[in-house]
Chain A
Amino acid sequence: ETVLTQSPGTLSLSPGERATLSCRASQSISSSYLAWYQQKPGQAPRFLIYGASSRAAGIPDRFSGSGSGTDFTLTISKLEAEDFAVYYCQQYGSSPRTFGQGTKVEIK
C-alpha cells in the first residue's frame, strides 16, 4: 500500500498570500497518478487536480500542481477567501487507492 504523507498539517496564511502544500509518497507513483481535492466543512470533496498537474474543469488557474515520483506539491498562488479549507492528495496508480491525511489551510 502506498502511504501518502502531507505537510504541514495546518497552514496559517492571509488572503493574497501563496500557499504551498506538500504530499510525499512511500513509493513512486506510476505515471504521476496523483490527484488533489479540496474539502470544506459539511461538504463533499471537490476535485481539483489530476495527473499531478492538470486542473479539473472549472478550477481557477491560481491552483497548480507539480511533482513526480514520490514528491508532489499543490500551490495556490494568491489565496482567496473561498480557498480556506482542507486539502487532500490521493494516488490512483496502485491499489488500494490511498489518501493523505490532509492539510488545513486556515486564515491567519
Chain B
Amino acid sequence: QVRLQQWGAGLLKPSETLSLTCAVYGGSFSGYYWSWIRQPPGKGLEWIGEVNHGGGTNYNPSLKSRVTISVDMSENQFSLQLSSVTAADTAVYYCARGLVTMVRGPMGVWGKGTTVTVSS
C-alpha cells in the first residue's frame, strides 16, 4: 500500500526558505500528479501547487512568486521550496498524490503532515 513520508525543517526565521521533501513508498511514482497543501493553525486547507507526470508544474497564484515544486524520479521523491517566509506561512504542510495516473484528479493519498513554524 502506498505511503507518503515527509520531512523538513520545522522552525524557520522570517525571510528564510522553507524546504520540505515527500518520499513515496510501496507504490509507483511515475504517472501521477503530486501536490502540496497547507493548513494554518485552526484554519482550512490551502492548495499550494502540483507537479505532474511530465514534470510540469502548476502553482496557486497567491504563492506563485515564492514557490518551487520539483521531483527526483530516481529517489521517488518530490519537494517544496517556499522562499521569503513570514509568520503567515506558519502551518501544517501536507504532501499528497493524485487518485489515478495521467489524470489531474482528486488527492487520494496524503502524507501525515509537517508542522512548520516561522518565528524570530
Contact = CB atoms under 8 A, between A and B. Distances in A.
Interface of A: 1, 33, 35, 37, 44-47, 50, 56, 88, 90, 92, 95-102
B44 A88 contact: yes
A46 B45 CA distance: 13
Interface in B49-65: 50, 58-62
A35 B112 CA distance: 19
A58 B115 CA distance: 28
Nearest to A1: B61
A99 B44 contact: yes
A44 B44 contact: no
Given A44-B94, A44-B113, A50-B99, A100 B44 contact: yes
Which 4 interchain pairs have the tightest Cβ spacing? A35-B106, A44-B110, A97-B47, A99-B45
B108 interface: yes
Contact of A92 (B62, B105, B112, B113): B105
A99 B106 CA distance: 11
A47 B58 contact: no
Interface of B: 35, 44-47, 50, 58-62, 94, 99, 104-113
Contact of A95 (B58, B99, B105): B58
Main secondary structure of the interface of A (DSSP, over half): loop
A47 B99 contact: yes
B106 A92 contact: yes
B113 A56 contact: no
A85 B112 CA distance: 17
Contacts of B99: 47, 50, 56
A102 B58 CA distance: 24
A100 B43 CA distance: 11
B33 to A, nearest CB: 9
A99 B105 contact: no
Nearest to B108: A47
Contacts of A56: 99, 108
B107 A47 contact: yes
